[in-house]
Structure 1
Amino acid sequence: MSGKTIQNLDEVAAFRVLPGERLYSADREEILYGWTTDIYFVKTQEILRAMDLAGTPVVAEIFARGEGMLAGVPEVKNLLSAAGVTVWALPEGERFQEKEVVVRIEGPYDRFGIYETALLGILASSSGWATAAAKCKEAAGNKQVVCFGARHVHPAVAPVMERAAVVGGADGASCILGAKLAGQEPMGTVPHAVILIVGDTLEVARAYQRTMPAGTPVIILVDTFKDEAEETLRVAQAMGRDLAAVRLDTPAERGGVTPALVREVRARLDQAGFRHVQILVSGGLTPERIQLLAQAGADSFGVGSYISGAAPIEMTMDIKVVNGRPVAKRGRIPGITPNPRLQKILG
């Protein structure tokens, strides 16, 4: 990154978007250049430049409007890496309180002011997703939680969301890029599509075992054609010790996955001598449902929309020092807000 960004309103006016075959998401260069910023930050630059104040040294602080778990810090660092500013932040994965300062930036205003929109968006969305994942993991206790939320959001942000879920405590993610960004390998079984095409769950289970790399756990959906308990026993009896788990994803049209269903499947597996077969549950999970299903005997959980649909935790950036002088808008306290938990990440 060269550090070059939008310079003036003439440049904005001359900017043309050619829809063509492009996706509507911003790419890396568009974000770094400033095309995702709010227009009033460009106007601010114009005014300050005209008054010979664009490079005024300032200290800005970002604080949270609600409590949660912080995520997005590496992106903040990458966004500002060539800006020539000093940055402090809470460590990623730390919990923060309402109104707590999570990031502090010091340097000439024209080196980072254009990025306020992007900085707040990164932290707000990522922290919202991480916080939702943390609630799911807390409900699951020592049982596994995997993020299945990529299908619920735009593909441009799916990996950001799933990485944030891992920061929040999820044990894995199904989105390939999201998992890789989190330093993991993607986790997942197979969709109903393959069972519908093949026409038989057991045939798919056998093909899965033959086709997947050696050592891949055999985890099979058991709600496509038959009663879940009946299909579970059918597959277990045929696969024996080779069956690692069954996945229950009963649709809402059939009542979803209930604690009673989990208890029945668990009991029938145990009675038939298949105590080693675990139960993975997915579909419309919330922390409350996870807790109930875990108590009923579920071993792991694939969580989608609860994490992906989590509301962003609103973030606000205030300038608190200008030319070494404490300042603040009305209602805020001038000067740097003490927070010993902040750690220097740049500069």
Structure 2
Amino acid sequence: MTPDINDIPKLTDKYFLKSKEVVRHFGDARVTYGVFMRRPVTFAPRLAIDWLQGVAKARGTSFDIAPNFKEGAWVGAGDPMMYITGPFLHLVDLETIFLQKIGAACVAAYNAYTICSDLPKVAFLAMDARHCAGQEMMELMAYGASVGSEKAKKKVGAVGFIGCATDATAHFFGQNQGLGTMPHALIGYAGSTLRAAEMLHEAYPDEPMTVLVDYFGQEITDALDVCRRFPELAAAGRPSVRMDTHGGRHVEGLDMAQSYAVLDRNCPEAIRGYRSEKELRYLIGTGVSSAAIWHMREQLDQAGFPKVRIVASSGFSPEKCRMMAVSQAPVDVIGTGSYLPEKWSETYATADIIAYDGKPMVKLGREFLMQRWEEMQKAGSPPGSPIGLASGDR
């Protein structure tokens, strides 16, 4: 997230570099940029701001950065998120990179807030790393998730995100290292789900154990086998079973009709209203549906393991989490990377210069960026002053 200052020319658009040389030749100007997005988001600017301030320091200059919202606030489409004021010579070649650090994090924060708010009693684990295109995207996504999670904690008392899968981004969630136990590969190596659990427990006897149970398509059988092998741990609620069944089949013991029956026993209102095809799939379809989670809870309880926790993963997007909330699915932890933006074009942040040496000027059609800046000028508040934070958290 902090490319060497000497690498900036290689990472920025060429027309900005040409503009920089023109400004160097004809004389600098003090400019103000307005930054906005075309969709509602949750404000997550810290990585971009920190980077800009770091570049300013390295170049021996300064930028006045005035956020119009607090971190975690809702920002409407087209709202100027912040103003950046400084020498044109030192800002013109930074636009490409600072915009990369804003949009995706804000959309991830929006999605993370949504899922944490819909399921406030569920703990979330950020498993975005495998879906990211390298370390910089990992940092943006983890940071975004942490911002959305903190907002949900404050507004609805949610448990939110408790950690992530990698050490590199654990600090965003107040952790020293990543969280996780076993992948499917360990079960293949061990030869059985039970043997994988035994090996994991022997290697990490003091850590809580989460066991994947879908490898052989025997989610219920293997979950109960593990609980019976470790009855004291099960009685203490230390082991968890992780359901990660893919969308090509139902969980062991279920089909479409039986899935309807499970929800009818536990949360009938979830299936008695109008549901779209996608919503029905999340409720009673293949993979880790709400019915599948309820089925696992029923089987664990009937076998005498009511304290064993259920971890769910596999495509837990905001839409799917909303259906889990509607059906009151008894899930304790959700591992997800599906708060990542689905439509990448929605993550594009845009910046336009709105003033040159204090004189308002912006391209036709972007006048909406100037209103708040002009209010700040009339109030006599310089960029970077507290008025820039007045919008609060909506």
Write 1 or 2 for the structure with the bigger share of helix. Answer: 2
1:44 corresponds to which residue?
19
Between 266-275 and 303-312, report the one with greater CA deviation. 303-312
1:268 corresponds to which residue?
299
Describe how 1:133-282 pairs up with structure 2 within 5 A.
133-156=112-135, 157-169=137-149, 170-184=161-175, 185-212=177-204, 214=206, 216-243=207-234, 244-254=239-249, 255-282=286-313
1:109 corresponds to which residue?
88
1:127 aligns with 2:112: no
Counterpart of 2:24, as a letter, is R
Between 193-202 and 307-316, report the one with greater CA deviation. 307-316
Task: Classify the secondary structure of the residue corresponding to 1:154.
Answer: coil
> Number of matched residues?
316
Q: Is 1:162–1:175's contact at 8 Å kept on the other side of the alignment? A: no
> What displacement does 1:135 show?
2.0
Q: Is 2:213–2:222's contact at 8 Å kept on the other side of the alignment? A: yes
Q: Deviations over 1:26-58 (max 9, x none)?
A: 972168633211111111112222322xx2112
Counterpart of 1:324, as a letter, is G
Mapped partners of 2:198, 2:4: distance in 1: 46
> What displacement does 1:337 show?
5.0
Give me the TM-score of the superposition, normalised by structure 2: 0.74
Mapped partners of 2:10, 2:70: distance in 1: 28
Q: Is 2:242–2:313's contact at 8 Å kept on the other side of the alignment? A: yes
> What displacement does 1:296 show?
2.6
Between 229-238 and 283-292, report the one with greater CA deviation. 283-292
> What displacement does 1:190 show?
0.9
Counterpart of 2:287, as a letter, is G
Counterpart of 1:85, as a letter, is F
> What displacement does 1:167 show?
1.8
Q: Is 2:8–2:94's contact at 8 Å kept on the other side of the alignment? A: no
Between 179-188 and 124-133, report the one with greater CA deviation. 179-188
Q: Is 2:107–2:341's contact at 8 Å kept on the other side of the alignment? A: no
Mapped partners of 2:7, 2:107: distance in 1: 23
Between 276-285 and 88-97, report the one with greater CA deviation. 88-97
Mapped partners of 2:193, 2:106: distance in 1: 39
1:342 aligns with 2:383: no
Residue identity (%): 28
1:96 corresponds to which residue?
75
Q: Aligned to 2:41, which of 68, 85, 100?
A: 68
Mapped partners of 2:348, 2:295: distance in 1: 43
Mapped partners of 2:71, 2:296: distance in 1: 39
Counterpart of 1:273, as a letter, is G
- Using a 3 Å threshold, how does the CA distance of structure 1 residues 133 and 114 change in structure 2: closer, same or farther? same
- Using a 3 Å threshold, how does the CA distance of structure 1 residues 310 and 137 change in structure 2: closer, same or farther? farther
Counterpart of 1:342, as a letter, is G
- Using a 3 Å threshold, how does the CA distance of structure 1 residues 240 and 337 change in structure 2: closer, same or farther? farther
Gap runs ≥5 in structure 1: 1-25
Q: Is 2:23–2:88's contact at 8 Å kept on the other side of the alignment? A: no
1:20 corresponds to which residue?
none
Mapped partners of 1:105, 1:64: distance in 2: 15
> What displacement does 1:292 show?
3.2
Q: Is 2:101–2:140's contact at 8 Å kept on the other side of the alignment? A: no
Q: Deviations over 1:276-317 (max 9, x none)?
A: 111111012222322333513222211124426453433221
> What displacement does 1:213 show?
5.9
Task: Classify the secondary structure of the residue corresponding to 1:316.
Answer: strand
1:327 aligns with 2:387: no
- Using a 3 Å threshold, how does the CA distance of structure 1 residues 338 and 191 change in structure 2: closer, same or farther? farther
Q: Is 2:47–2:101's contact at 8 Å kept on the other side of the alignment? A: no
Mapped partners of 2:6, 2:317: distance in 1: 33
1:56 aligns with 2:29: yes
Give me the TM-score of the superposition, normalised by structure 1: 0.83
> What displacement does 1:153 show?
1.8
Mapped partners of 2:87, 2:165: distance in 1: 41
Counterpart of 1:204, as a letter, is A
1:300 aligns with 2:279: no
Q: Is 2:31–2:87's contact at 8 Å kept on the other side of the alignment? A: yes
Mapped partners of 2:293, 2:142: distance in 1: 27
- Using a 3 Å threshold, how does the CA distance of structure 1 residues 103 and 35 change in structure 2: closer, same or farther? farther
Mapped partners of 2:243, 2:306: distance in 1: 17
Mapped partners of 2:358, 2:48: distance in 1: 28
Task: Classify the secondary structure of the residue corresponding to 1:59.
Answer: strand
Q: Deviations over 1:151-171 (max 9, x none)?
A: 112222223322322222133
